[in-house]
């Protein structure tokens, strides 16, 4: 119940605030706010269910749960983004695979769009430099997976896994529970993507004034959620008495059990 409320609550706030930011002048404030909150809450619940599927994966060790969980997670995050953009929840869907973002537009006519997420790309490049790329597991989990004999976080060695921006690093022969734990962290990164819609009004104005920015927007989707997730994680880290007290870690540990 605690994590269900966190997922629904955070997503409803993201959706509600974003809807107001993207409100048209003629639209009624209260209706837009209510719709954004409700739609964001719906997306948050769908995301929560995708995480529960990973708990089934961890308990049963059945990989058949992984891709369905990823697709359900993508659907939930798409609903949250549409809420924050003040759009109907079915207007646009997206799926992220590593640093690659695929948008599927369903309004008026079907259209597919591909863009690169720069923060995730930077994290991926760092992964290729510092670790061994695992192609087989990357296909299995739908994101980039790297391996290393010794995983270090904040100067502390021998972690079983670590997560970057939409990728994770594992020790060789890591147990299923650790894999589920790290996937949850990538879902936490994804779940904050609704805040990217907060800059839509500014981006639209810049596109009309700058050809360079318009070119950038055509090929890149700025994942500001990466910055927000790192910021919130550090706040939780400072508040926590130990590593597992961090809310992000508590959720990941819960769904790996």
- Residue 155 has a pLDDT of 57
* pLDDT tens series, the chain, 257 aa: 888 898 899 999 999 999 999 999 999 999 999 999 999 999 999 999 999 999 999 899 999 999 999 999 999 999 999 999 999 988 899 999 999 999 999 887 889 999 999 999 999 999 999 889 999 999 999 999 999 887 766 655 667 778 888 898 988 878 899 999 899 999 999 999 999 999 999 999 998 899 999 999 999 999 999 999 999 888 988 888 777 778 888 888 887 77
Write out the DSSP string of the chain.
Answer: -HHHHHHHHHHHHHHHHHHHHT--TTS-HHHHHHHHHHHHHHHHHHHHHHHHHHHHHHHH--GGGHHHHHHHHHHHHHHHHHHHTT--TTSEEEEEETTEEEEEE-SSS-EEEEEE-HHHHHHHHHHHHHSEE-HHHHHHHTSEEEE-SSEEETTEEEESEEE-SSEEEE-TT--HHHHHHHHHHHHHHHHGGGGGGGGHHHHHHHHHH-HHHHHHHHHB---THHHHHHHHHHHHHHH-SSGGGSHHHHHHHHHH-
pTM score of the predicted model: 0.90
């Amino acid at each position: 119940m605690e994590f269900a409320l966190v997922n629904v609550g955070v997503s409803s706030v993201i959706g509600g605030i974003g809807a107001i930011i993207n409100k048209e002048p003629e639209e009624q404030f209260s209706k837009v706010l209510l719709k954004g909150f409700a739609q964001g809450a719906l997306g948050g619940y769908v995301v929560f269910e995708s995480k529960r599927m990973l708990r089934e994966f961890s308990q049963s060790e059945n990989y058949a749960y992984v891709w369905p969980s990823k697709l359900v997670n993508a659907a939930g995050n798409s609903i949250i983004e549409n809420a924050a953009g003040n759009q109907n929840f079915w207007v646009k869907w997206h799926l992220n695979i590593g640093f690659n973002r695929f948008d599927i537009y369903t309004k008026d006519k079907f259209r597919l769009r591909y863009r690169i997420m720069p923060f995730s790309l930077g994290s991926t490049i760092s992964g290729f430099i510092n670790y061994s790329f695992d192609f087989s597991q990357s296909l299995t989990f739908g994101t980039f997976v790297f391996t290393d004999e010794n995983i270090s976080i904040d100067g502390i060695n021998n972690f079983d896994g670590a997560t970057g921006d939409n990728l994770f690093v594992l020790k060789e022969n890591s147990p299923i529970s650790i894999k589920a734990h790290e996937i949850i962290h990538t879902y936490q990164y994804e779940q904050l993507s609704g805040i990217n819609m907060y800059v839509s009004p500014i981006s639209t104005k810049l596109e009309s004034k700058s050809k360079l920015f318009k070119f950038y927007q055509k090929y890149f989707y700025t994942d500001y959620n990466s910055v927000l997730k790192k910021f919130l994680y550090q706040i939780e880290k400072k508040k926590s008495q130990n590593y597992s007290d961090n809310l992000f870690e508590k959720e990941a540990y819960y769904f790996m059990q």
